[in-house]
A and B are shown apart, each in its own frame.
Chain A
Amino acid sequence: MPGLGTSFGRGGATNFQQDFQQSDCVWIQGSSLVEAHPVGSRWMMKARERGAKIIHVDPHYSRTSAVADVYVQIRAGSDIAFLGGLIRHIIETESYFKDYVVNYTNAPVIINERYQGPEELDGLFSGFDPGSGTYDTTTWLPENAEAPSASGQPEHATQAFDEKTGAGMGVSEVPEDPTLQHPRCVFQILKRHYARYTPEMVERICGCSKEDLLHVAETLIENSGRERTSMLAYAVGWTQHSTGVQTIRAGAIIQLLLGNVGRPGGGIMAMRGHASIQGSSDIPTLYDILPGYLRMPRAREQHLTLADYIEAGSTKRGWWANFDKYIVSLLKAWFGDAATAENDYGFPYLPKISGNHSHFPTMLRAVDGGLDGLFVMGQNPAVGSQHSGLQRRALAQLKWLVVRDLADLETASFWRESPEVRSGELRPEDIGTEVFLMPAATHVEKAGHFTNTQRLLQWRDKALEPPGDARSELHFTYHLGKRIKAHYANSDRERDWPIRNLTWDYPEHGPHAEPSAEDVLREINGYELTTGKLVNSFTELRNDGTTSCGCWIYSGCFADNVNQTRRRNPGDIDSPGGWVSPEWGWAWPANRRIFYNRASADPEGRPWSERKKYIWWDEEQARWTGYDVPDFPPNKRPDYRPTDDAAGVEGIGGDDPFIMMPDGRAQLFAPTGPLDGPLPTYYEPFESPFTNALYPKIGGNPCGVYWSRPDNPLNVSRSREYPVVASTFRLTEQHTAGAMSRNLPWLAELQPEMFVEINPQLARERGIEDGGWMTVMTERGEIEARAKVTSRLQPLRMGDEVVHQISMPWHWGTYRSSEQGVTGDSVNDIIPLSGDPNTTIEDKTFSCDVRAGRRRGESTCRLAHEHEHVDQMTREGDHEAELPHKAVHTLSSLYELPVPGDREAREPPEGWEAARELARDPGRTG
């Protein structure tokens, strides 16, 4: 969640779902909260019953819109224009919460003279390198600030939690203007930056009316300030865009201007799309961070000692000054006694990142024969990932594939049941991939914890034994690890050191030698190694190798040797502060339910209002107190001022609530962190029928990631060939790619077929009948679906043009467990691989065309020709082609070509040729 991390300091939802109740206005954008989180939305409905306003801004009129007081339909992907319009209105009408903005954000900070913004540079920020499509971010720094060592270097750091937020900045070092008048202060830059995001401009870009924009703005303003708070909820409707992180940043800026962050009923809820998605970035399944958002070391770094790594990762001021304690404790947890001060606790043995190894580049590498094998666990890329036709073709190029799943889903069965096999493009007898399907236990058949949307760890016990050979992920991973360790036990090769010395000694239980998940959680919590006691908090961790901790932010989840995540005591919810229920599960960090909650009090430590009191300074006890665990040093007085040489948390003043930031302030302007600009700027989606009305020369995100290859074609922008804007959404009745819900008769009958929502006018123009078949076409292929003709979608008027939008759920695929399952085309078959430079996913908007009737061939057969072309080029064009096909390893840079500003200028084959040349140039690595 780089959007939140770079704004506030931590990449997690700031508040919790029960806290919706305290809100005076719940603003939902980029999320269909009610549709996708029906149980969590009960708290929002309670707020509504208490008189709160509900705002929903979305391309698709969903069940969320139905319960909203204000619904605004906008063009998919135009969110930043809408948010920019809100920011402009808040600033122009001086409706921001001035005391909050001046004291708790970096609004007064003066930025250096070299900074120039998109208004001056036709849509670009200063420091752009057109060759690499990346920014040198040093021109964005505050005046007098040093360039941080690890940032400022062009890099596609996908999914990166910003490990260097504002490094080098400190309160006393950087000039400020508390009157906010200095022309180069952040506030004035913000004002100039959004000056052209007028209601008329928003109307033209988003297709909503200017009255709609102003209505939303006024509703938010009326429900923010000392006495009232508004909460923002977003989900993948924001994240999965080529401007995803910047969209979240724009939401954060609004919440900061209105003074809603760190306060009850305020903040930003990042609604997660799946159980434990928050947990899978806390203890990451991502390639570029270590547990607890510690940065993954980079291969390009010249000095790879632990000291250098710590130097690059820690900050002089703010919480990250403790970075060394967390990495050393992590290394002790992994390598135990073998980790010593002499060998840098095993740090040199950690893998180093050499490029973009995220999901899409990895699968593209597989398409080209550069990947031998793949483990797929908890994922179903054959239907669940965008451009799934290409994903399936990638699977066909592997030597082996291990799939752990509940059943023989689309990924495991791609070789015998897929559109490509049906069309004859792939023949089972030609596919060399050896597939190992390992039956998995369901969530009720194994113990463990989920970390959900609100950073809440909730333990669940095993309800019943898994059937047959089905086992938990823990069992599988643990026993696989044991076998690998046994294989390397006698190796004396240096590179096998981490395998030989990995601590892998969980006690086994029962007939299947199941390791105890609680023992794993204890390791995550951390130990005092000298006494063997579990630590109670990350504040007890040390940098001298005497403590171990598997994930520092989870430290305390097993405090007092009690599984805190197993608690289920809601407490007296009617008492003051009772809705916080601190004994229900356990939230990271330190069981805090609202992040940055020092900001719920004014600079002097008094609640902003009695109505919104949460954490305040108790002078008698000389400590912070309230309904939650203070997100602040508990005894630091509000009037504490750091000395010039103060380091670590001591360097943060008593009135600086954002303790993860080196200056204790939230970032309206983010000099470091986002790779595509310090301020959110409107760029068109990669596939858009329209010119960027604000920056016609730029169009899409200049740093956006798109893999320009014949088998990943983009629809030509601004083309009448693909005039329809498409977006995707979720239904309450189905779950993700549908395997678990489409095969339950009770759910399948509720949404039995793939469908497309289409407005009556477009339907009439194309002769499409309600309930009849229709086909959606892109350059990737075409899918068929039932038409749901509904006025819930309306044609949008943008300036002189009318744009039609369609919306599609993405829950269908080919797998069925019995005749009672339902199948259908997957919308992921027609979505290209492209994305945000920070997180690399864009599937919430693309262009297409529609017609009546069923598709003419299999969904992705259009790509077959292009695919053969690529295959041929790989074989003939590469000097290593004589080697076995699958041993051809290509460079990762091949897979992350930046998209040029004007996409029409670059034909895919040219991009492909350029990529091949880059691949042959060994000088360019990562």
Chain B
Amino acid sequence: MKKLMKVLAIVISAAMVFSLAACNGLGGKEETTDEPGTLAQAGTVAIPKEEIKIGVLHITSIEETSGYTFAHHKGIVEMKESLGLKDNQIIEKDWIDDNDKKATTTAIQELIDEGCHVIFATSFNYMDTMEEFAAKDEYQDIVFSHCSGYKSNPDNFNNYFGRIYESRYLAGIAAGLKAQELETPMLGFVAAQDVNNAEVTGGINAWALGIQSVYPEAKVFVSVTGSWYAPEDEGKAAQALIDKGCVVLGQHSDSDATQTVAEKNGKFGCGYNSDMTPFAKDAHLCAPIWNWGVYYTKAVSEVINGEWKPVNYYEGMNVGLIDLSPLNPDTIAPGTEEKVAEAKAAIADGSLVVFDDSLVDNKGNKIVGEGEDGRLSDEQITGGINYYIQGVELL
């Protein structure tokens, strides 16, 4: 018991030290800020290119080699290079847990204290903290930009994301054709979050729609890990799906574990975030990928020119923000290229809408779209998909 108390005492004192450090971070700002009301509104005044400072919050490591943070970090680097900025103009904070409000607050405060003009927060749960910062009078001259959420304000806070479900649909076509080639109508999906997360669930539904467009009787089984980045758990989920009989695996999770497990079992898969073929060349078909550099370059150059507007950014394949990685010629089923190209063109010209008026959830309820012609509206897509469509089931 005494020992236990000792351990507790240590843990508690460690916690205290860290929280003190966090308080320090908060205290340091007062002297650096001007009087409220005297600040120029964010984005309206040009900032010389040599002086601009950009801050970024990442959820996992920027050393990561294939996943979500890798894609964002790559986008930041592209922006830096295409605008000709120097290394010290960009401050990236990684491993900021987005469920840890204190850590998020400290990180954003530090970026502000270091003089950042623009702050990008790349993960969903940074949203509320960023909204609070953006609302403060003393920070009205700073641009706050949040990825994957749904909140914004009319002054200095926007959100940005992309129609990744379009790429997911295309990847679904490749996955469906592969399953059909293997004559097994069972596919699996390793999901970071459960059905209530619209970003993940929308992706699963889009993938399933792509699959069903070429292989109508195929079923998608979903296994949830509960964490964005948990290679160990992702691998276990993937193995469980394969054990169940799935032959092609999709993923919305931040490591390549799903693909390497598929390869080990002689099965196939669609990665996510970046082209994962180098990690599992015998298994990987193609991956929905992000080119975040498109947005970062646009946003930062607007801030430099004093032309930034607090409007939400939600683009797709049209601007190159999202794409499908090159199809892996060693693994795809015959005819995949044609089918994917066909659907890609149809999405581009508007004749194919992924979430149209034909959606039915897996309990048999008809989904009512609030957009034109009964399609899902953008608000529904980004925040309202909390059901699996027909043919998708939890493992």
Whether chains A and B associate is: no
Tell me the A residues contacting B by CB distance below 8 Å: none
